[in-house]
Amino acid sequence: MKISRLTIAAALSSVIALTACDKRETPFIRPSTITNNVVEEAEVRGYNLFAAAIKSAGMDTAFDYLGQYTLLAPTDAAFTAAGINAGNINALSKDVLRNVLRNHILAGRNISGNLLLGPNAAYGNINRDFLYTTTYVASVAGAFAGTYFNGARLTKADMISNNGILHEVDRVLFPATGNLTATLAGNPNLSFLLAAINRAGLAGTLNGSTANLNLLAPNNAAFQAAGFATIDAINNADPAVLTPILGLHIIPASVANTNPGATGGRLFSPDFRARTYNTLLAAPLTTTITGTSPRFAGAGNGANSAQVTSANILFRTNVSNGSPSVMHIIDRVLLP
Q: Say how far apart CA 22 and CA 253 lie, in whole Å.
A: 26
Q: Which pLDDT belongs to residue 252?
A: 87
d(CA 176, CA 280): 22
pTM for the predicted model, two decimal places: 0.86
**Domain made up of 5-169: CATH architecture:** Roll (2.30)
126 neighbors 15 (Cβ within 8 angstroms): yes
pLDDT of residue 282: 72
Tell which residue, 269, 270, 287, has the closest CA to residue 278: 287
- Which residue from 172, 213, 194 is spatially nearest to 50, judged by alpha carbons? 172
Listed in sequence order, the DSSP H helices in the chain are 5-19, 38-44, 48-56, 76-81, 94-102, 138-141, 180-185, 191-199, 203-207, 220-225, 231-235, 239-247, 253-256
Superfamily of domain 180-330: FAS1 domain (2.30.180.10)
> Of 152-166, 251-265, 282-296, 317-331, which gets the smallest average pLDDT?
251-265
Query: How do residues 298-324 score in pLDDT, each as one tens digit?
Result: 999 999 999 999 999 999 887 555 688
**pLDDT at residue 63, as a whole number:** 77
Angle of CA points 69, 70, 71, to nearest 5°: 110
Q: How confident is the model at residue 27 (pLDDT cuts 50, 70, 90)?
A: very low
**Other CB atoms closer than 10 Å to residue 302's CB: what's the count?**
9
Distance CA 117, CA 6 (A): 36
Give me the pLDDT at residue 6, please: 38
Task: Give residues with Cβ within 8 angstroms of 175, minimum separation 6.
Answer: 99, 100, 103, 127, 129, 314
Start and end residues for every CATH 2.30.180.10 domain found in the chain: 5-169, 180-330
Q: How confident is the model at residue 7 (pLDDT cuts 50, 70, 90)?
A: very low
Distance separating alpha carbons of residues 245 and 231, to the nearest angstrom? 16
For the stretch 107-118, pLDDT in tens is 899 999 999 998
For residue 124, give the amino acid letter: G
3-class DSSP assignment, residue 125: strand
Nearest of 307, 311, 310 to residue 269 by alpha carbon = 311
Determine the 3-state secondary structure of 113 from DSSP. helix
Q: Which pLDDT does position 265 carry in this prediction?
A: 77
First to last CA, the chain: 53
Task: Kindly list the strands in the beta sheet with 105-107, ordered across the sheet, starting from the edge strand earlier in the chain.
Answer: 105-107, 69-74, 164-169, 152-161, 146-149, 130-136, 121-124
User: Model confidence at 12, in pLDDT bands (50, 70, 90)?
Assistant: very low
Higher local confidence (pLDDT), 25 or 212:
212
Checking 62-65 for CB contacts under 8 A at 24+ apart, the result is 62/5, 62/8, 62/9, 62/12, 63/37, 63/38, 63/39, 63/163, 63/164, 64/37, 65/9
- Note the pLDDT tens digit of each residue in 214-245: 999 999 999 999 999 999 999 999 999 999 99
Q: What is the mean pLDDT of the chain?
A: 87
What is the distance between the alpha carbons of residues 135 and 115, in angstroms, rounded to a whole number?
A: 8
CB 213 within 8 A of CB 206: yes
Give 269's pLDDT tier (boundaries 50, 70, 90): very high
The DSSP element (H or E) to which 306 belongs, if any, is strand 306-315
State pLDDT tens for residues 184-202. Answer: 999 999 999 999 999 999 9
Average pLDDT on 142-166 reads 93
